[in-house]
Amino acid sequence: MGGDVRADGARGADIGALPGPLVTAEWLAARLGAPGLLVLDASVGAHRGSGARIAGAGVFDIDGALSDHTAPVPHTMPDAVRFTDGMRALGLNDADTVVVYDAAGIYSSARAWWMLRAMGFDRAAVLDGGLPAWTAAGLPVDEGAPGPAPVRGDFTARPRPGLLVDAGTVAEALADPDAAVLDARTRGRFEGTEPEPRAGLRGGHMPGAVSLPFGRLQDDGRMLPPDELRAAFAGAAGDRKRLYFSCGSGVTACVLALGAELAGYRGTAVYDGSWSEWGLPSADRPVATGPEQG
Protein backbone atom coordinates (compact mmCIF):
# COMPACT_ATOMS: atom_id res chain seq x y z
CA MET A 1 0.00 0.00 0.00
CA GLY A 2 1.32 3.42 -0.92
CA GLY A 3 0.41 5.68 2.02
CA ASP A 4 -0.72 9.33 1.90
CA VAL A 5 0.28 11.89 -0.68
CA ARG A 6 3.15 14.07 0.57
CA ALA A 7 3.40 17.83 0.22
CA ASP A 8 5.82 17.37 -2.71
CA GLY A 9 3.39 15.11 -4.57
CA ALA A 10 5.10 11.81 -3.78
CA ARG A 11 3.45 9.07 -1.77
CA GLY A 12 4.69 8.19 1.70
CA ALA A 13 5.48 4.52 2.12
CA ASP A 14 4.16 2.40 4.96
CA ILE A 15 6.27 3.14 8.01
CA GLY A 16 7.17 -0.36 9.15
CA ALA A 17 9.34 -0.92 12.19
CA LEU A 18 11.92 1.62 13.26
CA PRO A 19 15.47 0.42 12.55
CA GLY A 20 16.52 1.67 16.00
CA PRO A 21 16.73 4.92 17.94
CA LEU A 22 18.42 6.63 14.99
CA VAL A 23 17.13 7.01 11.43
CA THR A 24 18.71 8.51 8.33
CA ALA A 25 17.33 11.28 6.15
CA GLU A 26 16.84 8.70 3.41
CA TRP A 27 14.77 6.46 5.71
CA LEU A 28 12.56 9.37 6.72
CA ALA A 29 12.20 10.80 3.21
CA ALA A 30 10.89 7.44 1.95
CA ARG A 31 8.11 7.58 4.57
CA LEU A 32 7.38 11.30 4.86
CA GLY A 33 3.63 11.82 4.80
CA ALA A 34 2.76 8.24 5.69
CA PRO A 35 -0.22 7.89 8.04
CA GLY A 36 0.85 7.33 11.62
CA LEU A 37 4.22 9.10 11.23
CA LEU A 38 4.71 12.31 13.22
CA VAL A 39 7.81 14.43 12.55
CA LEU A 40 8.71 16.97 15.24
CA ASP A 41 11.25 19.81 15.34
CA ALA A 42 12.79 19.90 18.84
CA SER A 43 15.21 22.80 18.27
CA VAL A 44 16.06 25.04 21.23
CA GLY A 45 17.77 28.34 21.84
CA ALA A 46 19.14 30.14 18.80
CA HIS A 47 17.94 27.32 16.53
CA ARG A 48 14.36 27.46 17.77
CA GLY A 49 12.03 28.72 15.02
CA SER A 50 14.91 28.88 12.53
CA GLY A 51 12.52 29.57 9.65
CA ALA A 52 12.75 26.20 7.92
CA ARG A 53 11.27 22.88 8.99
CA ILE A 54 11.03 19.45 7.47
CA ALA A 55 7.85 19.49 5.40
CA GLY A 56 4.85 18.87 7.64
CA ALA A 57 6.82 18.87 10.92
CA GLY A 58 5.29 20.03 14.17
CA VAL A 59 7.15 21.78 16.98
CA PHE A 60 8.28 19.87 20.08
CA ASP A 61 8.85 22.97 22.20
CA ILE A 62 11.35 22.09 24.93
CA ASP A 63 11.78 25.80 25.69
CA GLY A 64 8.02 26.25 25.98
CA ALA A 65 5.07 23.99 26.70
CA LEU A 66 7.15 20.82 27.09
CA SER A 67 9.08 22.02 30.14
CA ASP A 68 7.86 22.55 33.69
CA HIS A 69 8.09 26.31 34.13
CA THR A 70 7.20 26.06 37.81
CA ALA A 71 10.58 24.37 38.42
CA PRO A 72 13.54 26.51 39.54
CA VAL A 73 15.80 25.28 36.71
CA PRO A 74 15.26 25.16 32.92
CA HIS A 75 14.14 22.26 30.76
CA THR A 76 12.65 20.32 33.67
CA MET A 77 10.41 17.42 32.61
CA PRO A 78 6.70 18.28 33.01
CA ASP A 79 4.44 15.89 34.86
CA ALA A 80 2.49 13.18 33.04
CA VAL A 81 -0.71 15.23 32.79
CA ARG A 82 1.04 18.20 31.18
CA PHE A 83 3.13 16.02 28.91
CA THR A 84 0.04 14.12 27.77
CA ASP A 85 -1.74 17.37 26.96
CA GLY A 86 1.28 18.80 25.11
CA MET A 87 1.74 15.71 22.97
CA ARG A 88 -1.97 15.35 22.20
CA ALA A 89 -1.91 18.97 21.02
CA LEU A 90 0.83 17.94 18.56
CA GLY A 91 -1.46 15.22 17.20
CA LEU A 92 0.34 12.25 18.77
CA ASN A 93 -1.58 8.98 19.05
CA ASP A 94 -0.50 5.99 21.09
CA ALA A 95 -0.08 3.91 17.92
CA ASP A 96 2.00 6.49 16.02
CA THR A 97 5.70 6.57 15.20
CA VAL A 98 7.70 9.74 15.93
CA VAL A 99 10.90 11.09 14.39
CA VAL A 100 12.43 14.07 16.20
CA TYR A 101 15.15 16.33 14.86
CA ASP A 102 16.76 19.70 15.50
CA ALA A 103 18.40 22.41 13.45
CA ALA A 104 21.84 21.97 15.04
CA GLY A 105 22.41 18.35 13.94
CA ILE A 106 21.86 16.24 17.04
CA TYR A 107 21.59 18.49 20.06
CA SER A 108 18.14 18.88 21.62
CA SER A 109 16.39 16.22 19.52
CA ALA A 110 17.90 13.55 21.76
CA ARG A 111 16.21 15.25 24.73
CA ALA A 112 12.80 14.96 23.02
CA TRP A 113 13.50 11.27 22.27
CA TRP A 114 14.47 10.59 25.88
CA MET A 115 11.41 12.44 27.22
CA LEU A 116 9.14 10.29 25.09
CA ARG A 117 10.85 7.16 26.35
CA ALA A 118 10.59 8.36 29.94
CA MET A 119 6.86 8.77 29.39
CA GLY A 120 6.46 5.24 28.09
CA PHE A 121 6.56 5.87 24.33
CA ASP A 122 9.09 3.68 22.51
CA ARG A 123 8.24 4.23 18.83
CA ALA A 124 10.46 7.28 18.59
CA ALA A 125 13.76 7.91 16.84
CA VAL A 126 16.20 10.77 16.24
CA LEU A 127 17.05 11.96 12.75
CA ASP A 128 20.80 11.49 12.29
CA GLY A 129 22.36 14.81 11.30
CA GLY A 130 19.10 16.67 11.88
CA LEU A 131 17.91 19.46 9.63
CA PRO A 132 21.41 20.12 8.18
CA ALA A 133 21.57 16.54 6.86
CA TRP A 134 18.03 16.83 5.53
CA THR A 135 18.63 20.06 3.63
CA ALA A 136 22.03 18.89 2.37
CA ALA A 137 20.20 16.00 0.71
CA GLY A 138 17.87 18.46 -1.06
CA LEU A 139 14.77 17.18 0.74
CA PRO A 140 11.58 19.25 1.18
CA VAL A 141 11.22 21.93 3.84
CA ASP A 142 8.47 24.30 4.91
CA GLU A 143 9.29 27.95 5.62
CA GLY A 144 7.45 30.56 7.64
CA ALA A 145 4.94 29.96 10.41
CA PRO A 146 3.70 26.43 11.11
CA GLY A 147 0.37 25.44 9.61
CA PRO A 148 -2.87 24.99 11.53
CA ALA A 149 -2.88 22.86 14.65
CA PRO A 150 -3.37 19.15 13.95
CA VAL A 151 -6.28 17.09 15.18
CA ARG A 152 -5.63 16.26 18.85
CA GLY A 153 -4.21 12.81 19.40
CA ASP A 154 -5.04 10.16 21.98
CA PHE A 155 -1.55 9.69 23.46
CA THR A 156 -1.41 8.96 27.18
CA ALA A 157 1.85 9.26 29.13
CA ARG A 158 2.86 6.20 31.14
CA PRO A 159 5.89 7.35 33.14
CA ARG A 160 8.81 4.99 33.59
CA PRO A 161 10.67 5.56 36.86
CA GLY A 162 14.44 5.73 36.66
CA LEU A 163 15.06 7.26 33.24
CA LEU A 164 15.14 10.77 34.69
CA VAL A 165 16.71 11.03 38.14
CA ASP A 166 17.24 13.68 40.80
CA ALA A 167 20.29 15.05 42.61
CA GLY A 168 20.01 12.54 45.45
CA THR A 169 20.18 9.59 43.05
CA VAL A 170 23.19 11.13 41.31
CA ALA A 171 24.95 11.70 44.64
CA GLU A 172 24.50 7.99 45.41
CA ALA A 173 25.83 7.06 41.97
CA LEU A 174 28.93 9.20 42.51
CA ALA A 175 29.71 7.12 45.59
CA ASP A 176 29.02 3.80 43.84
CA PRO A 177 32.17 2.14 42.40
CA ASP A 178 30.01 0.24 39.90
CA ALA A 179 28.40 3.39 38.48
CA ALA A 180 29.73 6.28 36.39
CA VAL A 181 28.37 9.81 36.14
CA LEU A 182 29.34 11.26 32.75
CA ASP A 183 29.21 15.00 32.11
CA ALA A 184 28.33 16.09 28.55
CA ARG A 185 29.48 19.71 28.89
CA THR A 186 32.67 21.01 27.33
CA ARG A 187 35.94 20.19 29.06
CA GLY A 188 36.41 23.86 29.95
CA ARG A 189 33.06 24.09 31.72
CA PHE A 190 33.73 20.77 33.45
CA GLU A 191 37.08 22.01 34.77
CA GLY A 192 35.73 25.44 35.63
CA THR A 193 38.03 27.30 33.22
CA GLU A 194 35.14 28.47 31.00
CA PRO A 195 32.21 30.50 32.37
CA GLU A 196 28.82 28.90 32.69
CA PRO A 197 26.29 30.32 30.19
CA ARG A 198 23.67 30.65 32.95
CA ALA A 199 24.29 33.44 35.42
CA GLY A 200 24.80 32.59 39.07
CA LEU A 201 26.09 29.02 38.68
CA ARG A 202 29.36 27.86 40.19
CA GLY A 203 32.01 26.59 37.81
CA GLY A 204 33.37 23.05 37.86
CA HIS A 205 31.90 19.58 38.18
CA MET A 206 30.56 17.01 40.62
CA PRO A 207 33.41 15.31 42.48
CA GLY A 208 33.80 11.87 40.95
CA ALA A 209 32.11 12.71 37.66
CA VAL A 210 33.86 12.01 34.35
CA SER A 211 34.03 14.39 31.39
CA LEU A 212 32.61 13.11 28.10
CA PRO A 213 31.62 16.11 25.96
CA PHE A 214 28.68 15.17 23.76
CA GLY A 215 30.50 16.37 20.64
CA ARG A 216 32.99 13.52 21.03
CA LEU A 217 30.18 11.12 20.07
CA GLN A 218 29.53 12.87 16.76
CA ASP A 219 31.10 13.61 13.42
CA ASP A 220 29.64 16.59 11.55
CA GLY A 221 26.40 16.41 13.54
CA ARG A 222 25.92 12.67 13.04
CA MET A 223 26.42 9.97 15.64
CA LEU A 224 29.57 7.87 15.41
CA PRO A 225 29.31 4.18 14.46
CA PRO A 226 28.49 1.82 17.35
CA ASP A 227 32.04 0.47 17.70
CA GLU A 228 33.46 3.99 18.04
CA LEU A 229 30.73 4.88 20.53
CA ARG A 230 31.59 1.80 22.58
CA ALA A 231 35.24 2.85 22.60
CA ALA A 232 34.33 6.37 23.76
CA PHE A 233 32.20 5.09 26.63
CA ALA A 234 34.77 2.49 27.62
CA GLY A 235 37.42 5.21 27.71
CA ALA A 236 35.28 7.31 30.03
CA ALA A 237 33.52 4.70 32.18
CA GLY A 238 35.83 1.70 32.01
CA ASP A 239 33.90 -1.48 32.69
CA ARG A 240 31.15 0.26 34.68
CA LYS A 241 27.76 -0.48 33.14
CA ARG A 242 25.46 1.69 35.26
CA LEU A 243 25.74 5.05 33.56
CA TYR A 244 24.23 8.37 34.60
CA PHE A 245 24.39 11.42 32.34
CA SER A 246 24.50 15.12 33.20
CA CYS A 247 25.06 18.36 31.30
CA GLY A 248 24.02 22.00 31.66
CA SER A 249 20.24 21.61 31.83
CA GLY A 250 19.44 18.00 30.94
CA VAL A 251 19.51 18.48 27.15
CA THR A 252 22.87 17.28 25.79
CA ALA A 253 23.04 14.65 28.54
CA CYS A 254 20.45 12.93 26.36
CA VAL A 255 22.93 12.85 23.47
CA LEU A 256 25.07 10.67 25.74
CA ALA A 257 21.98 8.57 26.50
CA LEU A 258 21.38 8.13 22.77
CA GLY A 259 25.02 7.22 22.18
CA ALA A 260 24.94 4.71 25.02
CA GLU A 261 21.82 3.09 23.58
CA LEU A 262 23.49 2.79 20.18
CA ALA A 263 26.60 1.37 21.88
CA GLY A 264 24.55 -1.36 23.57
CA TYR A 265 24.20 -0.01 27.12
CA ARG A 266 20.88 -0.47 28.89
CA GLY A 267 19.41 0.85 32.13
CA THR A 268 20.99 4.30 31.80
CA ALA A 269 19.60 7.51 33.35
CA VAL A 270 19.68 11.27 32.81
CA TYR A 271 20.00 13.78 35.65
CA ASP A 272 17.09 16.09 34.86
CA GLY A 273 18.31 19.13 36.81
CA SER A 274 21.94 18.65 35.73
CA TRP A 275 24.42 21.46 36.42
CA SER A 276 21.65 24.08 36.44
CA GLU A 277 20.57 22.50 39.72
CA TRP A 278 23.81 21.04 41.14
CA GLY A 279 25.80 24.21 40.41
CA LEU A 280 23.43 26.57 42.23
CA PRO A 281 25.19 28.16 45.24
CA SER A 282 22.03 27.53 47.25
CA ALA A 283 22.16 23.81 46.46
CA ASP A 284 25.09 23.40 48.88
CA ARG A 285 26.44 20.41 46.96
CA PRO A 286 30.17 19.70 46.54
CA VAL A 287 31.93 21.10 43.48
CA ALA A 288 35.38 20.28 42.12
CA THR A 289 37.45 22.22 39.60
CA GLY A 290 40.32 21.24 37.37
CA PRO A 291 40.74 17.83 35.70
CA GLU A 292 38.80 14.87 37.05
CA GLN A 293 40.46 12.79 39.72
CA GLY A 294 40.57 9.04 39.32
Q: What is the C-alpha to C-alpha distance for residues 34 and 13, in angstroms, rounded to an integer? A: 6
Distance of CA 84 to the CA centre of its chain: 18
Distance of CA 213 to the CA centre of its chain: 14
Q: Are strands 179-183 and 210-211 parallel, antiparallel or unpaired?
A: parallel
Q: Are 261 and 21 in contact (CB under 8 A)?
A: yes
Q: What is the DSSP letter of 14?
A: P
Q: What angle do the packed helices 253-263 and 226-237 form, to 10 degrees?
A: 110
Q: What is the C-alpha to C-alpha distance for residues 274 and 245, in angstroms, rounded to an integer? A: 8
Active-site residue, selected from the candidate residues 62, 125, 173, 247: 247
Q: What is the C-alpha to C-alpha distance for residues 26 and 48, in angstroms, rounded to an integer? A: 24
Give every CB contact of residue 134 below 8 A, 6+ residues apart in sequence.
Answer: 25, 28, 29, 54, 101, 127, 141
Catalytic site includes residue 254? no
By annotation, the residues acting in catalysis are 247
